[in-house]
Chain A
Amino acid sequence: MTRASPMQSSEEQARIAGAYPQFFTPDWRIRAPIIGGFAAAIALFVFGFIALDISWGRVWAGFGRLGEFVFLMLPPTYGDTNLPFDFLKSLQETDKLMLYVGSMVETLAIAFLGTLFAAIIALPFGFLAARNVIPNIFAHFAVRRFLDTIRSVDTLIWALIWINVVGLGPFAGILAVITSNFGIFGKLFSEALETADTRPGEGIISTGGSGFHAVRFGLLPQILPVFVSQVLYYFESNTRSATIIGIVGAGGIGQHLYEQIKILEWQHVSFLVLLVLVAVVVIDFISSRLRFAIIGTNALKR
């Protein structure tokens, strides 16, 4: 099959370009704001670079040291690879392993309890902040701002505050995760409630059901899968934040991570990071399986 060659002669090209200038010259009304926007972003970047007093010398030296650390991190271990094997030492090493795994379990416990109880406590507040449940504009505005304020304070700061109340340890971490997630869930729940379809509830009322029946059989089946999937999603993200609250002393693996980095035990650091990675991947796998099971594949892909 012979096809017409897409190549035109140069005068042919010039003729076409002359005939349809709108396709062959850039439209500056569209292009100028894009180029202007990026130029402004780059200018701000350069300004920030200078304002933060970042010198290239430090950057390169730092990357050199970082490369060294990565080299020292291999292979990840919980023991001491430099000494020859002996029985007593291997017992101590097993102790260390148990300590690390134990604090990983603690981290998971913090994330699990924190997420679950934040969701339970946030449920009534989600109803209060939803426009279609509480028609009073002042009430839901007040609840919303309250939730916003709680949400904008980081988990780490809540952990510091709770340490003052219940002392150092994982319990403070659990309470911190509960507090900061309470704000997030309250907002998410209220949004889910506002987008819920009211017709099933109306149908139930029209067949003689009570208000309770309308909520139980009309509203709850719509929103419960959404709630559960959001909670499961946040469980994974909380596992990650629970790994760092140990830095301020609120339990979990973060404390060991912090100590091992401070004493430059890089092999232990990489072992702990690996432990966190594995835990997060496992949690991610389980929670996405559960989400699929609860709300179905199609609903998730929306």
Chain B
Amino acid sequence: MALAVPTLPDHQAAALAAAYARVVAVKRRQTMIGALAVIVLVYVASFYGEVDLAKLFGNIGSFFNYIGRLFYLDTGAHVFTNPSEWFWGITQKSKWLPLLFETVMVAYLGTVIGFIGALCLSFMSAANMVKSALIRNTAKRFLEFCRTVPELVFALIFVVAFGLGPLPGVLALAIHSMGALGKLFSEVIENIDMKPVEGLQSTGANWVQTIRFAAIPQVLSSFVSYSLLRFEVNVREAGIMGFVGAGGIGQELLVSIRKFYYSDVSAILILIIVTVMLIDLGTERVRHKLIGRESRWS
């Protein structure tokens, strides 16, 4: 079978080709302008950022040296030859293991308090739950504030107010988690099926009853799933809370980096990474279960 490819007469094809060229030219011009803007911005930013490529390429070797040094003990032996010396800190009392436990606990308490706060504020900021625009916008702005200010800034202020230790870390993580979870929660709430809500309202249920029996069953599994994800993020964050004295293993890590205890740095980092990975694996299974049973929850 011979396929006839339809070809237009020349004058029509030429007009189409010209139109295509015009469209492409406009697009090209836009791309060029965008690229030019990015280049100018890069130039300005590298002035303000004190970019010094010569220094970078001159010293890049010391970066890889540093990474390499992390895996050698003070004696000069490779860390893998003597793991008990490498991880010496985990057998010490009030050293790495208790501090790691403290890190996880700071993250957990922060997540739970943040979850409770987000639960209350998310219903207040959801458009389909609260009619008053004033309450809704106030709740929204407050949540925005809580998640925009970095955790570490809250931690710095709380360390001054509450003193050194895990408490300021817990509160800093709680406030940030509340802001982040509150936004996600209110988006979940805004997407629920409104029929149960209307059904309950028609029977004369009050606001709290409506939320308890119409909204919560629909949203609870997503809420828990988001909170478990947040917990994992918070463990990571709690690992650096110690940098400003807000509890956890961060203090120990900072000291090791500042004092060039190379093998300690790699050991602590590995402990943090393994902990985060274990939590990730554990919560992932729970989350998959939760998502699977979402429709069955009533």
Contact = CB atoms under 8 A, between A and B. Distances in A.
A251 B161 contact: no
Interface in A167-202: 167, 169-171, 173-175
B236 interface: yes
B235 to A, nearest CB: 10
B243 to A, nearest CB: 6
Contact of A247 (B166, B203, B243): B243
B148 interface: yes
B160 A154 contact: no
Interface string B158-173: 1011110111101000
A58 B162 contact: yes
A228 to B, nearest CB: 10
Given A51-B105, A154-B240, A241 B150 contact: yes
A240 B244 CA distance: 17
A52 B158 contact: no
B257 A171 contact: no
B66 A58 contact: no
A269 B272 CA distance: 31
B253 A45 contact: no
B55 A171 contact: yes
A118 interface: no
Given A6-B203, A170-B48, A62 B162 contact: yes
A170 B63 CA distance: 17
Interface in B254-298: 254, 257-258, 269, 272-273, 276-277, 296-298
A280 B146 CA distance: 13
A171 B45 contact: no
Nearest to B41: A112
A52 B166 contact: yes
A243 to B, nearest CB: 6
Interface stretch (B6-14, B106-114, B127-135): B106-114
Given A62-B163, A161-B66, A269 B55 contact: no
Nearest to B70: A161
Contacts of B160: 65, 69, 261, 264
A273 interface: yes
Contact of B59 (A63, A105, A166): A166
A18 B162 CA distance: 57
Contacts of B62: 164-165
Contacts of B145: 277
A112 B157 CA distance: 27
Contacts of A170: 48-50
Contacts of B121: none
B60 A165 contact: yes
Given A164-B66, A165-B66, A170-B48, A54 B236 contact: no
A59 interface: yes
Nearest to A281: B148
Interface string A101-125: 0100110111011001000000000
B51 interface: yes
A181 to B, nearest CB: 15
A296 interface: no
Contacts of A164: 62-63, 66
Nearest to B168: A62
B102 interface: yes
Contacts of B157: 66, 69, 261, 269
Q: How large is the interface on B (under 10, 10 to 19, 20 to 34, 35 or more residues)?
A: 35 or more
Given A51-B105, A171-B52, A156 B240 contact: yes
B108 A48 contact: yes
A276 B101 CA distance: 33
A113 B45 contact: yes
A240 B148 contact: yes
Nearest to B273: A152
A169 B240 CA distance: 20
B51 A62 contact: no
B148 A280 contact: yes
Nearest to A236: B148
Contacts of A105: 48
Contacts of A258: 156
Nearest to B257: A160
Given A69-B157, A171-B50, A248 B108 contact: no
Contacts of B257: 157, 160-161
Nearest to A162: B63
Given A156-B240, A160-B257, A166-B52, A69 B45 contact: no
Nearest to A111: B45
Nearest to B258: A160
A54 B166 contact: yes
A261 B149 CA distance: 14
17 contacts: A51-B105, A52-B105, A54-B167, A61-B162, A62-B161, A62-B163, A65-B160, A113-B49, A152-B272, A152-B277, A156-B152, A156-B243, A161-B63, A166-B56, A170-B49, A170-B50, A247-B244
Given A54-B167, A269-B157, A277-B145, 14 more contacts: A48-B105, A65-B160, A66-B161, A69-B161, A109-B49, A116-B38, A160-B257, A161-B257, A165-B56, A165-B59, A170-B49, A173-B49, A247-B243, A281-B148
What 8 A-B pairs are tightest by C-beta distance, nearest first? Answer: A62-B162, A109-B45, A109-B48, A109-B49, A48-B105, A66-B161, A65-B161, A244-B152
